[in-house]
Structure 1
Amino acid sequence: MLKWLRKRQAVPQDKKSRKVKPGREEITSLLLMGRMLANHVKEHGIYENLHDAEFKVFSQFGDDGILQYLIHQTQPKKHTFIEFGVQAYTEANTRFLLLNDNWSGLIMDGDHTSMEAVRNLPDIWRYDLQAVGAFIDRDNVNSLFASAGYTGEIGLLSVDIDGNDYWVWEAINVVDPVLVVAEYNSVFGAEHAVTVPYNPAFDRTRSHYSNLYWGASLKALCLLAEKKGYAFVGCNSAGNNAHFVRKDRVGNIPVRTVKEGYVESKFRESRDADSNLTYLRGSQRLKEI
């Protein structure tokens, strides 16, 4: 049944567009199937591999399912989230939590137009969501959180800004999340702790034409997580998001080493100097940068 439901989740697509924004009926159907999948995940108990808990409703890949599992296991007292780097919030790690679980949250993106569009969604008044347009760096992140009323313990922090992810997470000290999702760059491999140097105006396309030079390696994020009191519990099967649980809430969730949990992405998003896709694979991507 779980596999059948996962297949049924796909949003219809037309021939002209890679993505179609789901309408109200489609969202209702997605939420219904997502709730069934979430109940299945919760009833399962402990997963040895996070991949087995995956399902997608609004997350880019299977992180909706992983988060439902981790939340059920850790039982955060504060049903609140912060996510930044959400673009138009059509694909996000927290939207299912907002619509299905009625969590409160703060989302931020450097594109002010996207945040305005979120604030103008037809039914957004039903939910406690703040959408703030801001370009986030390590010097303003804490004040942005505090000015929105987010300090102390929160349930979830999701970090995805395609650049200074390591440095911004390192700087965060006004909130104490139970769970953290942080995007990693699998092109850097599993062996080395690597991050791009801090640059408050970092842009991945301007930094290297290939669009592959950004963010931090999984090992770098795991070392930072250890310093901040978090345990690494695995990555999604797509190889782009790492999941961390605050050590006082890990319980029976299996903790992983970098070697055990690393997943290499299969994304072929590389570009040449003229911005044409070159579809580099595997280790070819690292050689390019």
Structure 2
Amino acid sequence: MKKSNILSQYAKNVVSQNGEDGIIERILEILPNTNNWCVEFGAWDGKYLSNCYNLISNLGWNGVMIEGNSNKYRQLQQTYKGNEKTYLFNRFVNFTGKNSLDNILQSTPIPIDFDILSIDIDGNDYHIWDSLKIFMPKVVIIEFNPTIPSDIAFVQERNIDVSHGSSLLSLNILGISKGYELIGTTLCNAIFVKKEYFSLFGIENNSPSILWDTEGEAPRVFQLFDGTIVLSKGFNLIWKNVKVDTYDLQKIPKYFRFNHDYQNIYGLFKAILFKVIKKIVYNFK
């Protein structure tokens, strides 16, 4: 049984989705030299499933909240109306240019080593974190695709129009390259801390397979002698509630699946013709 995700015992929601509010509070009890600044995007209305709302509204923190959708941004403005410690931006964060995260943050008084960065944009999370070069937050909370097993390194295409997500393992590799260590997970968020603070958390093994204690068993894929592809179990597509059954992933049409290696077109044609005739005869019985 996995027992190394020690921060999970502090999980609780004020408005967060999977216990992040309580985990953040515990992390801040451990971190030294905090400056009470946080950043979140896409922020929605600034409250719904937010990892920063509790810090800003209930604990008096300074914040930078970024939301690209104009309707949600108007709601964001209402949430923080009159709050002079919160900087709001109606932007879609990009990898480069004026809408890069570095450039947006440079237009605010936020310190380089601010405390909390929350990234949740359902796709390019990896690439946005990778693009951050100037600012070095102490803690990064970043979404990963929870359907990808912890031993698979997958990074989606670096394209704002693509929403595939990246694996926890890939985010861990990126985090290490940027000077961070994994300290915990929730259902689909990885939590990293700057390497200099890692020893304060008393974690002996911080590999993704250990710290992701809510990881489910992913279906395995195998093939039969005739070319049929089979899943070890069915599953539902994430957010779509569409069932994928064990025989749904076929590359070769049924009439081309044979339990033999045909060396020429003539042999293949005879085999297909035989199957067609057999099916016709069977249907007329």
TM-score (normalised: structure 2): 0.71
The 1-side partners of 2:109 and 2:133 are apart by 14
**Residue identity in the other structure for 1:278:** V
Q: Tell whether the 8 Å contact from 1:270 to 1:279 is kept in structure 2 after alignment.
A: no
The structure that is helix-richer by fraction is 1
In the other structure, the counterpart of 1:196 is 156
Match of 1:120 among 57, 74, 78: 78
Match of 1:85 among 20, 28, 42: 42
Q: Which residues of structure 1 form unaligned runs of 5+?
A: 1-46, 205-213
Residues 1:186 and 2:146 are matched in the alignment: yes
1:150 CA drift (Å): 3.2
Q: Tell whether the 8 Å contact from 1:156 to 1:179 is kept in structure 2 after alignment.
A: yes
In the other structure, the counterpart of 1:104 is 62
Match of 2:184 among 234, 240, 246: 234
1:279 CA drift (Å): 5.5
Name the stretch that deviates more: 139-148 or 171-180.
Answer: 139-148
Residues 1:216 and 2:166 are matched in the alignment: yes
1:127 CA drift (Å): 5.2
Q: 1:76 to 1:158 in 2, by over 3 A?
A: farther
The 2-side partners of 1:279 and 1:179 are apart by 37
In the other structure, the counterpart of 1:54 is 11
Q: Tell whether the 8 Å contact from 2:5 to 2:211 is kept in structure 1 after alignment.
A: no
Aligned residues with identical type, % of pairs: 23
Match of 1:244 among 169, 183, 192: 192
The 2-side partners of 1:76 and 1:84 are apart by 24
In the other structure, the counterpart of 2:127 is 167
After TM superposition, the runs of 4+ consecutive aligned structure 1 residues lying more than 4 A away are 265-269
The 2-side partners of 1:280 and 1:103 are apart by 45
Q: Tell whether the 8 Å contact from 2:5 to 2:183 is kept in structure 1 after alignment.
A: no
**Residue identity in the other structure for 2:25:** Q
1:88 CA drift (Å): 1.7
1:250 CA drift (Å): 2.4
Aligned residues: 221
In the other structure, the counterpart of 2:241 is 277
Q: Tell whether the 8 Å contact from 1:60 to 1:92 is kept in structure 2 after alignment.
A: yes
1:280 CA drift (Å): 6.0
Q: Alpha carbon RMSD of aligned pairs, Å?
A: 2.5
Q: 1:54 to 1:120 in 2, by over 3 A?
A: same
The 2-side partners of 1:264 and 1:138 are apart by 30
**Residue identity in the other structure for 2:242:** T
Residues 1:157 and 2:114 are matched in the alignment: no
Q: Tell whether the 8 Å contact from 2:151 to 2:169 is kept in structure 1 after alignment.
A: yes
**Residue identity in the other structure for 2:81:** I
The 1-side partners of 2:27 and 2:161 are apart by 34
Q: Which residues of structure 2 form unaligned runs of 5+?
A: 218-234, 251-285
Structure 2 SS opposite 1:152: coil
Q: Tell whether the 8 Å contact from 1:159 to 1:181 is kept in structure 2 after alignment.
A: yes
**Residue identity in the other structure for 1:50:** L
**1:223-265 deviation digits (Å, cap 9, x = unpaired):** 11101111101101xx201111111122331331111012326
Q: Tell whether the 8 Å contact from 2:5 to 2:185 is kept in structure 1 after alignment.
A: no
The 1-side partners of 2:181 and 2:238 are apart by 32
**1:27-82 deviation digits (Å, cap 9, x = unpaired):** xxxxxxxxxxxxxxxxxxxx961210100001112000000000110134311011
In the other structure, the counterpart of 1:141 is 101
TM-score (normalised: structure 1): 0.70
Structure 1 SS opposite 2:44: coil
**1:183-211 deviation digits (Å, cap 9, x = unpaired):** 11121111111111101333x3xxxxxxx
